[in-house]
C-alpha cells in the first residue's frame, strides 16, 4: 500500500536531527524516571530550542490542560475548557 502525502511528510520529519534530539531526550528522561530519579537531566541544546514554548504555552501539555479544565469547572466557566491533545488540538506523534 502506498503512503499518503501526510505519512510521507511525517516519516521525513521524524528523521530530522531535531526529532532525533527529541527522541533521545524522551528516552533518557523515561529511563531516569523509571530508575526512581527525582530530577531528570535535560540537554541544554535541546532546552534552548523548546524553553520559550514551554514557558509561554503550558496548555500544550495534557496534564496541565486537564488541570485547567478542572479549574474551569470549579470556577463555573466550562466554556473556557480546552479540548484535544494540547492547545491546538493537533495530532500526537
Q: Are residues 8 and 51 in the same domain?
A: yes
Q: What is the pLDDT along the chain (93 residues), one digit of tens a residue?
A: 899 999 999 999 999 998 998 899 999 999 999 999 999 999 888 899 889 999 999 999 999 999 999 999 999 999 999 986 544 444 545
Beta carbons of 59 and 82 less than 8 angstroms apart: yes
Q: Give yes or no: residues 6 and 36 share one domain.
A: yes
Distance CA 51, CA 65 (A): 18
Q: Are residues 14 and 52 in the same domain?
A: yes
Rounded to two decimals, what is the model's pTM?
0.65
Number of domains in the chain: 2
Instruction: Report the distance separating Cα 41 and Cα 1, nearest Å.
Output: 41
Q: Are residues 50 and 10 in the same domain?
A: yes
Domain range enclosing 49? 1-56
Do residues 2 and 47 share a domain? yes
Whether residue 38 sits in one domain with residue 4: yes
The grid coordinates of residue 20 equal 532525533
Amino acid at each position: 500500500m502506498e503512503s499518503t502525502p501526510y505519512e510521507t511528510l511525517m516519516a521525513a520529519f521524524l528523521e530530522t536531527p531535531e526529532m532525533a534530539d527529541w527522541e533521545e531526550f524522551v528516552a533518557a528522561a523515561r529511563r531516569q524516571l523509571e530508575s526512581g530519579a527525582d530530577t531528570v537531566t535535560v540537554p541544554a541544546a535541546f532546552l534552548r530550542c523548546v524553553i520559550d514554548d514551554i514557558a509561554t504555552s503550558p496548555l500544550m501539555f495534557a496534564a496541565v490542560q486537564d488541570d485547567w479544565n478542572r479549574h474551569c469547572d470549579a470556577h463555573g466557566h466550562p466554556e473556557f475548557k480546552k479540548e484535544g491533545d494540547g492547545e491546538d488540538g493537533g495530532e500526537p506523534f
